[in-house]
Protein backbone atom coordinates (compact mmCIF):
# COMPACT_ATOMS: atom_id res chain seq x y z
CA UNK A 1 0.00 0.00 0.00
CA UNK A 2 1.36 3.40 -0.94
CA UNK A 3 0.31 6.88 -0.04
CA UNK A 4 0.80 10.12 -1.84
CA UNK A 5 0.47 13.66 -0.56
CA UNK A 6 -1.41 16.12 -2.68
CA UNK A 7 -1.32 19.81 -1.95
CA UNK A 8 -4.05 22.26 -2.81
CA UNK A 9 -3.24 25.95 -2.98
CA UNK A 10 -5.92 28.60 -2.77
CA UNK A 11 -5.08 32.10 -3.89
CA UNK A 12 -7.41 34.90 -2.85
CA UNK A 13 -7.69 37.91 -5.08
CA UNK A 14 -8.36 41.08 -3.08
CA UNK A 15 -10.29 42.70 -5.94
CA UNK A 16 -12.81 39.88 -6.31
CA UNK A 17 -13.11 39.34 -2.57
CA UNK A 18 -14.05 42.94 -1.89
CA UNK A 19 -16.58 42.96 -4.75
CA UNK A 20 -18.20 39.76 -3.51
CA UNK A 21 -18.54 41.09 0.00
CA UNK A 22 -20.28 44.25 -1.17
CA UNK A 23 -22.71 42.44 -3.50
CA UNK A 24 -26.18 42.00 -2.09
CA UNK A 25 -28.21 38.86 -2.67
CA UNK A 26 -31.04 39.27 -5.16
CA UNK A 27 -34.45 40.10 -3.77
CA UNK A 28 -37.07 37.52 -4.73
CA UNK A 29 -40.62 38.85 -5.08
CA UNK A 30 -42.98 37.29 -2.53
CA UNK A 31 -45.52 36.45 -5.25
CA UNK A 32 -42.86 34.40 -7.01
CA UNK A 33 -42.21 32.24 -3.96
CA UNK A 34 -45.93 31.61 -3.50
CA UNK A 35 -46.38 30.57 -7.13
CA UNK A 36 -43.36 28.24 -6.99
CA UNK A 37 -44.70 26.65 -3.81
CA UNK A 38 -48.13 26.16 -5.37
CA UNK A 39 -46.56 24.69 -8.51
CA UNK A 40 -44.44 22.26 -6.53
CA UNK A 41 -47.45 21.14 -4.50
CA UNK A 42 -49.44 20.59 -7.69
CA UNK A 43 -46.55 18.64 -9.24
CA UNK A 44 -46.36 16.37 -6.20
CA UNK A 45 -50.09 15.69 -6.46
CA UNK A 46 -49.74 15.02 -10.23
CA UNK A 47 -52.00 17.98 -11.10
CA UNK A 48 -49.90 19.02 -14.06
CA UNK A 49 -52.34 21.55 -15.52
CA UNK A 50 -52.38 23.47 -12.22
CA UNK A 51 -48.61 23.23 -11.94
CA UNK A 52 -48.17 24.60 -15.45
CA UNK A 53 -50.53 27.49 -14.66
CA UNK A 54 -48.56 28.45 -11.55
CA UNK A 55 -45.21 28.09 -13.31
CA UNK A 56 -46.39 30.27 -16.19
CA UNK A 57 -47.45 32.93 -13.71
CA UNK A 58 -44.10 32.63 -11.91
CA UNK A 59 -42.28 33.01 -15.23
CA UNK A 60 -44.20 36.23 -15.92
CA UNK A 61 -43.18 37.56 -12.49
CA UNK A 62 -39.50 36.67 -12.94
CA UNK A 63 -38.59 35.48 -16.46
CA UNK A 64 -34.93 34.78 -15.64
CA UNK A 65 -35.42 32.86 -12.39
CA UNK A 66 -33.51 29.56 -12.62
CA UNK A 67 -35.84 27.76 -10.20
CA UNK A 68 -38.84 28.45 -12.41
CA UNK A 69 -36.96 27.26 -15.50
CA UNK A 70 -35.86 24.10 -13.69
CA UNK A 71 -39.39 23.25 -12.56
CA UNK A 72 -40.77 23.92 -16.04
CA UNK A 73 -38.14 21.57 -17.42
CA UNK A 74 -38.98 18.89 -14.88
CA UNK A 75 -42.66 19.17 -15.77
CA UNK A 76 -41.87 18.80 -19.49
CA UNK A 77 -39.50 15.92 -18.80
CA UNK A 78 -42.27 14.14 -16.90
CA UNK A 79 -44.41 14.36 -20.05
CA UNK A 80 -41.50 13.40 -22.33
CA UNK A 81 -41.83 16.73 -24.16
CA UNK A 82 -38.18 16.86 -25.12
CA UNK A 83 -36.84 19.00 -27.98
Q: What CA–CA distance (Å, rounded) separates 72 from 83?
A: 14
pLDDT at 3: 77
What digits encode the pLDDT tens for the residues 30-56? 899 999 999 999 999 999 999 999 999
Average pLDDT over every residue of 18-30: 65
Q: Read off the pLDDT of each residue in 24-29 and give the average, rounded to a whole number.
A: 71
- With a CB cutoff of 8 Å and minimum separation 6, the contacts of 28 are 62, 65
Report in angstroms the alpha-carbon separations of 58 from 25, 39, 44, 70, 74: 19, 9, 17, 12, 15
pTM to 2 decimal places: 0.65
pLDDT band for position 59 (cuts 50, 70, 90): very high
Opening angle at CA 81, ends 78 and 83, nearest 5: 135
Amino acid sequence: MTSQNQYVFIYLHPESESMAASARPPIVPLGLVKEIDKAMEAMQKKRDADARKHLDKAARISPTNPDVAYLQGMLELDHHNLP
